[in-house]
Chains A and B, each alone.
Chain A
Amino acid sequence: EVQLVESGGGLVQPGGSLRLSCAASGFTFSDHYMDWVRQAPGKGLEWVGRIRNKVNSYTTEYAASVKGRFTISRDDSKNSLYLQMNSLTTEDTAVYYCVRVDRQSAFDIWGQGTMVTVSS
């Protein structure tokens, strides 16, 4: 079964850091681009960023709202995706989803999400 499972969410103070993980199973993780998408409470979906595969040099793209603060990385040997979040603000409070990108460049598989709350 193709599956993405996020972890690492929790409560963090403004200005703090947090690292999210996404464990992939049931498919060849190394073949795929992978994205992070977030959803603030009661709001719509917001794209956070992307990491490409090894063939494409693991290059990354970020939303302007997180660029310079968030870093996406991956470890293909562990079938894992990561989101390092620094300098967090209350605006970063959201459920964070790990998403697989298919060969047509669209999202196809979503994780169940992990909640990040930034509050003092």
Chain B
Amino acid sequence: DTQMTQSPSSLSASVGDRVTITCRASQGISNHLAWIQQKPGKAPKSLIYAASSLQSGVPSKFSGSGSGTDFTLTISSLQPEDFATYYCQQYNSYPLTFGGGTKVEIK
């Protein structure tokens, strides 16, 4: 199985901050990497696929990069609605696997 490791597991940031979350795969997954946002008590929402492509309707403040084993999600200017937990997920091979999540909290 491909293990996905996210860091940090949580972070505190202020409105307007630039935030970066990293995700590392235990083996190469090409660009078959997605980022998913989940707000408390809500269903997950897909943000990015193919490591750097935005899902329809996702604002451009979100960006992704990486290939192979190392990936990043960046939020360019954190807004109140961005406080949530973010998961990376690989879809290169079965079983599909998720990172443990990064909780972004208000400082």
Interfacial residues, chain A to chain B (CB-CB below 8 A): 35, 37, 44-47, 50, 61, 63-64, 97, 102, 104-113
Contacts and interface: CB of A to CB of B under 8 A. Distances in A.
B34 interface: yes
Contacts of A113: 43
B98 interface: yes
Interface residues of B, number: 24
Contacts of A46: 98
B43 to A, nearest CB: 5
| Majority secondary structure of chain A interface residues (helix, strand, loop or mixed) | strand
Interface of B: 32, 34, 36, 38, 43-46, 49-50, 53, 55-56, 87, 89, 91, 94-101
B89 A107 contact: yes
Contacts of A107: 34, 36, 46, 49, 89, 91
B98 to A, nearest CB: 5
Contact of A47 (B32, B56, B97, B100): B97
14 contacts: A44-B100, A45-B36, A47-B96, A47-B97, A47-B98, A63-B95, A102-B49, A104-B49, A104-B53, A105-B32, A106-B32, A107-B46, A107-B91, A110-B43
